[in-house]
Structure 1
Amino acid sequence: MSKTIRIGTRDSQLALWQAHTVQTQLESLGYDTQIISVKSTGDLLLDKPLYELGITGIFTKTLDIAMINGQVDIAVHSMKDVPTKLPKGMLQSAVLPRANTQDILVHKNLDFLETHGTIATGSLRRQAQWLHKYPDHKVVDLRGNVNTRLQKLADNPWDGAIFAKAGLERIQVLPQNHIDLDWMIPAPAQGAMVVVSMENDPYSTEAVRKLNDKTTEISTHVEREFLQVLEGGCTAPIGAIATIDKDSLSFEGVLLSLDGKQKLVVKKSIASKQYKGFGRSCAQEILTNGGSEMMVEIKKELA
């Protein structure tokens, strides 16, 4: 049996770049494909911060429905946007080799770092980490796709805005006036792309599995397990990064209060073959050391 694999994607420039990347790889393996793009709720509602919308997987929900209804066969996502629990009947079929994991600051000048400044970001994780390091600064909400956010930065009197470096590199809009925020812990699975398929579609699932990168799959599994246990979704300041060097896996995870004043960190290493359950144990350590109380406060403040 063979068929044309319909690739579902959001219609932003970055999402389409990701879908075309998967299309190229599948077609190089001899599969026929077609790209079908849709607008997600997260792309349409730009006047509210993400956490106020109260929808887990806001950027993936529209594609989930399209898959369940049989309009598309697979979907391509930035993995950090995907809820840790997939809808019933859906499979994580491939994680592609990871790109840059770092956050960057796109700035107008850097003088403000020593005084008072205003930074734009739609991420609670970035906001909390920035305020932890620069408590005298102000953080404003910034929404939209990459190009929209770059334009908003240019049009407003802010000093800078925080972006994922991978996204700007992928669509070749990384400006020269940026610095790497090597002190900022990225979102779980930042820089990774994931492809999902349906359990009842073995043809598409088998095709997509050929694209899987085991190293990225393991590191993102640990990070997302950490996130899932902390019950973060995209509504709490949670960062996590796992790196694999030969047979060793190193992990750093962080949970912060919304104002950045409280910060809980876990740093550990383990043999990479023992990765299952490692993210969970790191999260439990955070919860035991004050994280449970912090999550209660965060949920109360966001309610």
Structure 2
Amino acid sequence: MERIIRIGTRSSELALWQANTVAKQLDNLGYKSEIVKIDSLGDVVLDKPLYELGITGVFTKNLDIALLNDKIDIAVHSFKDVPTKLPHGIIQGAILKRGDFNDVLVIKEDENFFTKDSAIIATGSLRRKAQWLYRYPHHTITGLRGNVITRLQKLEDNDWDGAIFAAAGLKRLKLLPEKEKHIKLDWMIPAPAQGAVMVAVLEKNEDLVEICKQLNHDDTATCVKIEREFLRVLEGGCTAPIGALALIIKEELMFKGVLFSPDGKNKIEFSKSVELDKIGNLGEYAANYVLDRGGNKLMREEIIIDKDINIYSTKNLSLDQVNSISSHIGSSMSDFITTRSNRLKPNVVKNPIKNVIFTSQNAVEALLENFIPMELQFENIYCVGKRTKRLIEKKIGKVIQDENTSEKLANYLVKNLDGKEVTFFCGNKKREELTTILTENNIVVNEVESYQTALTPRKIDEKINGILFFSPSAIESFLIQNKATEIVAFCIGETTATEARKYFKNVEVSKVSTIESVIEAANKYFKVKQ
């Protein structure tokens, strides 16, 4: 029996257009296919949490899970919505020839508003908002959410002057208004991979991987790879208004990347033309160029939220982490704590150390700033947190035991420690309960203060329904300029939650001590409360 390729897609009209386009191309190559709509997880069960599988994107999550559970053979995505890191086992099978990458302004009445002192423009995109305000600082931006048809209707129903859309979506659905009612925004740098459609496939399905290769458009793949590499490097700090566009003209590739401050007042831009055989790591180079010229500062400026349910993170999140927040939840973020590594004397690690404790990644990173791994002769390493464990085992050596709280680790050591002495690499705000439990049980604790933690409080003026805390110090910093009202405190572990309960009526604790798990707790809570 001839195989029928199951094409997974969301059920929106635009998603179906993309899936049907893939189906037609497969048909032209002689392969039969069927469309499978995936909009909910149903009864799908995974053997690992989503974040451990690398599944983060709100728009791609259900399709990723369906692919991993053999409900579909390939998944079709709007590539600009796909996180730069794909889930484990899923690869980019093909990129179709790119459509129109431009943004367009759909006009409510006419263009006369450009001559006025003020105007109201609708968009739900931080990138579009920043670029519009950079060009038209006297205009007002209002939020706009929903699918293409819903957003067009909102433009009709509200007293707005215009709304910004992706040209490709309007054209694909045959909804682009007549010439007098829209303006191509060719000055606006699009989102990385805007207008491109990506086909995802399981890496282990070698026959499907080969079939997908036949759909691939090489020039488009080359261009969006550079754009997404630019995005990947920049998103390490947190989400920000990022635009990128690569075009191949004759034998040259022209690239422009841009980073704006969220309010549109500042931007850093990079542009370069290179011969096709000399592209190299252009996307990464461009991103580092932007970062070296103040990009980190722009990315850490506060982002205004505009949704019915809003959460605030007391730690800057990566773009993939922001994408894992449910689409109905708005988010803002800022670092309420900053850390600085101390300079450590060489004699700290001059001799081998039998038992070593780490309770944070900060301590590990501080140690590695002072010494190279081969200088760290540790026989037994103990730590708090899975991420700390992964960092230690990647950079230093094997971890004997990890626990999710310092109290649990201390109790484990009381029963199992080989010897009666430990070296604790800590910060200036160390885990007092760990030291107390160990010393009360006649274990000598040699504390090495490896880093300094400083509070960086700020006033939160906008309405928030939940706040994400990743340490007791973040709670202390928050309370300096803010009050613990009825908002829900989402905490990374029991130690942080214990501190939060002193001030907040509603406290939710993540299942494991990871940023992704805290976000997952917020998603679950507000889904239930809707």
Same fold, judged at TM 0.5 (above): yes
Given that 1:10 and 1:40 are in contact with CA atoms closer than 8 Å, whether structure 2 keeps it comes out as no
Distance change >3 Å, CA 40–CA 123, structure 1 → 2: farther
Aligned to 1:83: 83
TM-score, with length taken from structure 1: 0.91
Report the Cα distance in structure 1 between the residues aligned to 2:237 and 2:37, rounded to whole angstroms.
25
Aligned to 1:113: 114
Report the Cα distance in structure 2 between the residues aligned to 1:208 and 1:9, rounded to whole angstroms.
16
Given that 2:262 and 2:301 are in contact with CA atoms closer than 8 Å, whether structure 1 keeps it comes out as no
Aligned to 1:59: 59
Amino acid corresponding to residue 332 of structure 2 in structure 1: L
5+ long unaligned stretches in structure 2: 42-54, 304-315, 317-330, 334-530
User: Does 2:175 match 1:156?
Assistant: no
Q: CA deviation at 1:298?
A: 4.6
Report the Cα distance in structure 2 between the residues aligned to 1:106 and 1:65, rounded to whole angstroms.
36
Report the Cα distance in structure 2 between the residues aligned to 1:103 and 1:125, rounded to whole angstroms.
11
Aligned to 1:216: 220
Aligned to 1:257: 261
Given that 1:236 and 1:298 are in contact with CA atoms closer than 8 Å, whether structure 2 keeps it comes out as no
Report the Cα distance in structure 1 between the residues aligned to 2:15 and 2:104, rounded to whole angstroms.
20
Given that 1:232 and 1:238 are in contact with CA atoms closer than 8 Å, whether structure 2 keeps it comes out as no
Give the secondary-structure state (helix, strand or coil) at the position aligned to 1:251. strand
User: Does 2:182 match 1:178?
Assistant: yes
Aligned to 1:28: 28
Q: CA deviation at 1:39?
A: 2.2
For each residue in 1:200-239, what CA deviation from the matched residue of structure 2 results, as whole angstroms up to 9, or x when unmatched?
A: 1112221111010000000000000000000179932000
Amino acid corresponding to residue 17 of structure 1 in structure 2: W
Aligned to 1:45: none
TM-score, with length taken from structure 2: 0.53
Which deviates more from structure 2 when the two are superposed, residues 266-275 or residues 157-166? Answer: 266-275
Report the Cα distance in structure 1 between the residues aligned to 2:9 and 2:133, rounded to whole angstroms.
34
Aligned to 1:101: 101
Aligned to 2:131: 129
Q: CA deviation at 1:58?
A: 1.2
Distance change >3 Å, CA 56–CA 86, structure 1 → 2: same
Given that 2:254 and 2:271 are in contact with CA atoms closer than 8 Å, whether structure 1 keeps it comes out as yes
5+ long unaligned stretches in structure 1: 42-54
Aligned to 2:204: 200
Report the Cα distance in structure 2 between the residues aligned to 1:234 and 1:63, rounded to whole angstroms.
25
- The structure whose Rg is larger is 2
For each residue in 1:54-91, what CA deviation from the matched residue of structure 2 results, as whole angstroms up to 9, or x when unmatched?
A: x9521111111111111111011111111111101001
Q: CA deviation at 1:276?
A: 3.6
1:274 to 253, 274, 278: 278
**Relative contact order higher in (CA < 8 Å, ≥ 6 apart):** 1
1:230 to 214, 230, 234: 234
Q: CA deviation at 1:297?
A: 2.4
Report the Cα distance in structure 2 between the residues aligned to 1:68 and 1:60, rounded to whole angstroms.
12
Distance change >3 Å, CA 9–CA 65, structure 1 → 2: same
Q: CA deviation at 1:274?
A: 2.7
Give the secondary-structure state (helix, strand or coil) at the position aligned to 1:297. coil
Report the Cα distance in structure 2 between the residues aligned to 1:23 and 1:234, rounded to whole angstroms.
36
Q: Which of structure 1's runs of 4+ aligned residues deviate more than 6 A?
A: none
Report the Cα distance in structure 1 between the residues aligned to 2:238 and 2:22, rounded to whole angstroms.
25
For each residue in 1:161-209, what CA deviation from the matched residue of structure 2 results, as whole angstroms up to 9, or x when unmatched?
A: 0001011111111011100111100000111111010011112221111
Give the secondary-structure state (helix, strand or coil) at the position aligned to 1:189. coil
Q: CA deviation at 1:245?
A: 1.2
